[in-house]
Structure 1
Amino acid sequence: MDIKKQIKLDIISMKPYYTLKNLIIPLGIVLIYSYINKSPFVMLSMTLSFAVIFSTFPFLLGENSGIDGLYKIFSIDSKKVVIGRYILAGFIFIFANLIGFSIYIIISLIKNMPVGLDMSMLIGINFIIYSVIISFQYPMFFKYGYTKAKTFGYLPILIIGILGMVIGAFIKDFGPILKFVEENESMIVIGLVILIVIFLTISIKLSINFYKKRDF
């Protein structure tokens, strides 16, 4: 079975959970919070949260339905399974942000607010955070399974949240930081892209090794 078919199988297993009933609550929460705030940018952090949650579904459903075990029983290449899950995580991120961006446009029009051109930067920040979280979570899920790893899997989210609060408490004026970012934008973007590629590469290699050795 190739990677494309494996991704389709994961999507099919997740499909029953992506019903209007299950999606209406998170969509409603995002809409309400985006509307009551002065800027709908708050929905970006919520979009990221939902993307991270949904990215764990293939492991949850694969474990509960026994699909992961079947992959091993039928000697499906572990490398293909791992790469397929990472590609699917990318699709989930894109889908979540498309919905988030659509909501942002709708709320901006309703509240007669200009559509910020820095939206791409904010989505880029979301992608960096998402990649870091995925790079930490996925090797643990492949090694221990969703049930055993889920508690520690959300550790990076907690750490990022704490770091955000600490930075916000100690740095009162972000002006100099923003100025530095603007003056060195290209260098920073290139550096971050390199780091993300390194994180994901290490994460994928670890996941492949863990999944090969895992007993079901």
Structure 2
Amino acid sequence: MTDTWKAARMDAALVAPYWKVIAFTLLLPVAFVAINRSLLTGVSFAMCFVAMTTGYPFSVAEKSHMERLYGILPVRRRSLVAGRYLLVLGLGAAALTVSLALHPLVLWALGEPVAAADIGRAAAGGALLYTLYTVFQLPGYYRYGAIKGRVFLYIPVAGFLATLLVFPRVPGLAAELAGRAPAALAGLVLAAAVGLYALSVWVSVRIVTRKEL
């Protein structure tokens, strides 16, 4: 775990020049939620924006030719992969926290009622969407690199546009579950996230290992 944490800190240092851009992506959706007047859509938009920044460590490492450095570090590649996933999870958690803190305040200021069930549904939806975006993005970046694999940058955009079409047509099951059994909804999303990330990490480690061979 220590090596994983150190790898995450190293990746955070790599993207240090982009922290202002990342911070901007956390604040821009506030304007979107003010226009759209939907907490769920606003949080989804925020997670889409942040997911588009997950390629920054790959881009910096590729442009700086850091493969040699990774090769001589006394750290297993598995730890390096896990560290990058840890950084991505941290970005997602920060985006979700900021969104759930600011977006309801904006809606309340505009006179829009926001219930606890709305916040719970937005949190579950945002976490699930971010998971779905990143579990496909990261193996793609490991396989093709940030330049050749730039198509993976647009997975969140496609996903967000799809949610704009799907959310209004989804039955009220999620809303009812969030209102009556929020713990069940949270547990379902958490279980899905853990399973998907475990599979994604396994795939990424295999890709990195095969590249070494």
**TM class by smaller structure:** 0.7 to 0.9
Query: Aligned partners of 2:23, 2:202: CA distance in 1, in Å?
Result: 37
Q: Mapping of 1:78-93 within 5 angstroms?
A: 78-93=77-92
How many corresponding residue pairs?
Answer: 211
Task: Provide the TM-score with structure 1 as the length reference.
Answer: 0.79
In the TM superposition, what is the alpha-carbon distance from 1:137 to its structure 2 partner?
Answer: 1.4
Query: Aligned partners of 2:130, 2:70: CA distance in 1, in Å?
Result: 26
Contact kept? 2:44, 2:160, Cα under 8 Å: no
Range with greater deviation from structure 2 (121-130 or 147-156): 147-156
Q: Deviations over 1:182-210 (max 9, x none)?
A: 66766555444333322211111111111
Instruction: Give SS of 2:134's match.
Output: helix
Identity between Structure 1 and Structure 2 (%): 20
Range with greater deviation from structure 2 (157-166 or 134-143): 157-166
* Correspondence for 2:55: 56
Give 5+ residue unaligned stretches, structure 2.
Answer: none
Q: Deviations over 1:25-71 (max 9, x none)?
A: 54563232222333454421221112201222111222122234421
Instruction: Give SS of 1:174's match.
Output: coil
Q: Mapping of 1:1-216 within 5 angstroms?
A: 2-19=3-20, 22=21, 26=25, 29-74=28-73, 76-117=75-116, 118-152=118-152, 154-155=154-155, 157-158=157-158, 161-162=161-162, 165=165, 168=168, 171=169, 174-175=171-172, 178-179=175-176, 189-214=186-211
RMSD: 3.2
- Opposite residue 18 of structure 1, the aligned amino acid is W
- Opposite residue 129 of structure 1, the aligned amino acid is L
Instruction: Give SS of 2:115's match.
Output: coil
Task: Please tell me whether Structure 1 or Structure 2 has the larger radius of gyration of its CA atoms.
Answer: 1
- Opposite residue 90 of structure 1, the aligned amino acid is L
Query: Aligned partners of 1:31, 1:163: CA distance in 2, in Å?
Result: 18
In structure 2, the CA distance between the partners of 1:76 and 1:191, relative to structure 1 (3 Å rule), is same
Instruction: Give SS of 2:75's match.
Output: coil
Query: Aligned partners of 2:51, 2:158: CA distance in 1, in Å?
Result: 13
In structure 2, the CA distance between the partners of 1:202 and 1:96, relative to structure 1 (3 Å rule), is same
In the TM superposition, what is the alpha-carbon distance from 1:81 to its structure 2 partner?
Answer: 0.6
Range with greater deviation from structure 2 (174-183 or 36-45): 174-183
Task: Provide the TM-score with structure 2 as the length reference.
Answer: 0.80
Contact kept? 2:37, 2:112, Cα under 8 Å: no
